[in-house]
Structure formats: C-alpha cells, structure tokens
Amino acid sequence: MADVDANSIAERINALANDAASKILACRDSANRDLATAREQANDLVDKIDKAIKRYDRQKLDVSELADKAAILQSRLDAVESILDGVQDKAEAVADMIGKVVHLKSSPAMQMTAASIEGDGRILCMWMDGPVLAEAPIPFAALEVSSQEAAVKKHALDTPIQELGLSVRSLNCLLAEGMKTVGDVGSYLQLLKLPNMGKRGALEVQDRLRELGIEIPQYPNQ
C-alpha cells in the first residue's frame, strides 16, 4: 500500500510538473505579447509627441511651453516603461519559482514545493502533512524560495528508514522504536541504548546518515 501511495504521489507531482511547464510557457508568452503591445502603444505615444511638436511649431507656440508639454509626455512614457519592466520581472520571478522548494515568509520552517501557477497571482504549493500530501494555492507575494542547503537537508530528513540500506537487525531496531524517517533518529548514545542495536548497529546507522550528509550528535540535546 505504501508503494502504491508513493507511486500515486509521484504520478501526481509529475503531472503537476508537466502542467506547470505548460503554464510557465503560456505565462511567458502572454507577458511577451503584453510587453509588445505596450511598447507599440509607447511608440504611438512618441509619434504623437513628434506630431504635436510639429503642429505647435506650425502654430508658432512659445518654445518653452512646447518643451514643458513634451517633457510631460516623456515622463508619462518613462512611467509606462517602468510599469512594463515591473510586470516582466514579476512574470519571470513567478515562472522561476515553479519546481523549487519554497516557504511562507511568515513561517520559514514550513517547506513546500511550488508545483504550478494558479490564477490571481497564486502558486499551487504541495507539502507532506504527516502521511498525507497536502496542497493549496498561496499568493506569490507570501512566498520565497528556500535556500538549497535547507531544502536538501529537509529532503534528507524526510527519507524513510527503509531506504537507508541497513541490515535487517538495525532496521528492525529502529522500526520497533517507532522511527520511520531519518529525522526521527536521535543521538549516537540513544542508538546504543536501543534494544538489540549494539555498537555495531549504531555505527552502521551513523555511517548511512553520513552518506546523506547528516551528522547526528553524540549525546541527546547536543
């Protein structure tokens, strides 16, 4: 049953990843089209400025007045370009977040995976809530990408005990104490005190954890 659940979760994550890739491309295409349209409008505005200058020149308006009006139009054009740059930057930031480990800015300890782009500036995030795969759309502004080191460590801590490649005796000792993942393993001294574990078994567990880049303390609360 655990293998079936794991396969179902993997299939769902793969499906979401494929969907996310399609949405990223669609989002970028849409952003590029919007940017092209806005630039066309900006160019039209520049043409209007040139025509206005010629018209005012023909009407022999005061040069200083004309310059002021041209400056106002240029200022508005600059504002439009600034807004367009902001929109483009945000679209790229949202697209780059997909597939990465993220967390809430208000709760850095809660690690999630940004799975796909949702509407209204939200990103579908997935995380393990105990044995259950939970998901929810979360506003992009409330998220930030977790550091690679923290993400890798969390992934390692979530590794099931059965995947460590331990001997049957060491594995059974851990499972008998209710240890299901790497994160459940305590100190080296605690391992030594487990029934039937012994020094050889404790060293075996310690070596397997080191292969994952995890160094357990010698003593509890160290």
DSSP state of 215: -
In whole angstroms, give the CA distance from residue 205 to residue 198. Answer: 11
What is the per-residue pLDDT across 58-90, written as a single tens digit (0 to 9) for each?
Answer: 665 566 677 777 788 788 877 777 777 666 666
DSSP state of 13: H
In whole angstroms, give the CA distance from residue 111 to residue 56. Answer: 62
Place of tokens 């078994």: 201
User: C-alpha angle 8/11/12, rounded to 5°?
Assistant: 85
In whole angstroms, give the CA distance from residue 140 to residue 168. Answer: 46
> Strand, helix or coil at 214?
coil
Structure tokens at 100: 């990465």
Helix or strand (DSSP H, E) at 45 = helix 2-58
What is the per-residue pLDDT across 130-187, written as a single tens digit (0 to 9) for each?
Answer: 767 788 899 888 888 877 555 566 667 788 889 888 899 999 999 998 988 888 887 8
**Which pTM value belongs to this model?**
0.35
Among candidates 191, 155, 153, 198, which has minimal Cα distance to 174?
191
The pLDDT of residue 20 is 66
In whole angstroms, give the CA distance from residue 109 to residue 154. Answer: 10
